[in-house]
Amino acid sequence: MSAMNRKIIKALAETISKKVEHNKTETECLIREFYVLLGEQVSPGKESHGLDKGRFRGILHSMFGMTNDMMMDGFRAFDKDSDGFISLEEWIEGLSVFLRGTLDEKIQCYRVYDLNADKYIAREEMFHMLKNSLFRLPTEEDPDEGVKDLVEIAMRRLQDTYHDGQVSVEEFDEAVKEENLMLEAFGTCLPDASSIEKFEQRVFQEQLEQ
């Protein structure tokens, strides 16, 4: 790595670290990780699109052990400007929530559940997300009954105040604060503690040793 690049990364880290939970060194590590993942020549100066959807899913799977296809659309939560790519800043901000996020920040995983991005989680969206979560019995009369019941539980918890069959971010927020288990109600979209630990260890430790 050239001295030039190192300098640029340092400078970048300086600015970005102010916005996130990570300190400068850690941010630097995350920046490096980003470029490694991008698989491109480390050239922070060069304009780059960032991580595309496919690669992002791969990362979620391999690094955080997240497997649910639908939920791997955490992409939408990361890709804040919705340009189809995750830029360096989006990457670090997203990871910051992943690794150190407060409950309020994590509640933003709501965006993952809002499949059509209309700011509401509708009953149909819930159904869609939950439809494979119960192993079906071959004898079942109405195979959807269980899933419908799950949606009912969720609706009851999420307090659909207007009874319009959809849940707003405020309602979601309120319900999660009452019962934290509702945070990932419709599928795992945040990494668990052990994979976070592994990731931090790998990215932060390794690079410090360098």
**Interaction between residue 142 and another protein (CB under 8 A):** no
Residue type present at position 98 = F
Give phi and psi for 166, each to the nearest 5: -145, 160
DSSP 167: E
x/- string (CB under 8 A) for another protein, residues 64-93? Answer: ---xxx------------------------
Q: To 5 degrees, how large is the angle CA 55–CA 59–CA 62?
A: 130
Torsion angle in degrees (nearest 10) through CA of 6, 8, 9, 11 = 120
Which two structure tokens, joined as six digits, stand for 195? 């994979």
When the beta carbons of 43 and 133 are compared against another protein, the nearer one is 133
Instruction: Please identify which residue in 137, 141, 142, 210 interacts with another protein, judged by CB under 8 A.
Output: 137
**Interaction between residue 134 and another protein (CB under 8 A):** yes
Instruction: Please identify which residue in 185, 199, 203, 204 interacts with another protein, judged by CB under 8 A.
Output: 185
Contact 36, 51 (CB under 8 A): no
**Interaction between residue 193 and another protein (CB under 8 A):** yes
Q: Which helix (H) or strand (E) holds 46?
A: none
When the beta carbons of 56 and 186 are compared against another protein, the nearer one is 186
**Interaction between residue 173 and another protein (CB under 8 A):** no
Instruction: Please identify which residue in 22, 111, 123, 157 interacts with another protein, judged by CB under 8 A.
Output: 157
**Interaction between residue 109 and another protein (CB under 8 A):** no
Cα separation, 58 vs 65, in Å, equals: 10
Cα separation, 154 vs 185, in Å, equals: 8
DSSP string of 5-36, one letter each residue:
HHHHHHHHHHHHHTTSSS-HHHHHHHHHHHHH
**Interaction between residue 54 and another protein (CB under 8 A):** no
Cα separation, 204 vs 33, in Å, equals: 10
**Interaction between residue 135 and another protein (CB under 8 A):** yes
**Interaction between residue 186 and another protein (CB under 8 A):** yes
When the beta carbons of 83 and 149 are compared against another protein, the nearer one is 149
When the beta carbons of 54 and 138 are compared against another protein, the nearer one is 138
Return residues touching another protein (CB under 8 A): 61, 67-69, 129-130, 132-138, 146, 149-150, 153-154, 156-157, 179-182, 184-188, 192-194
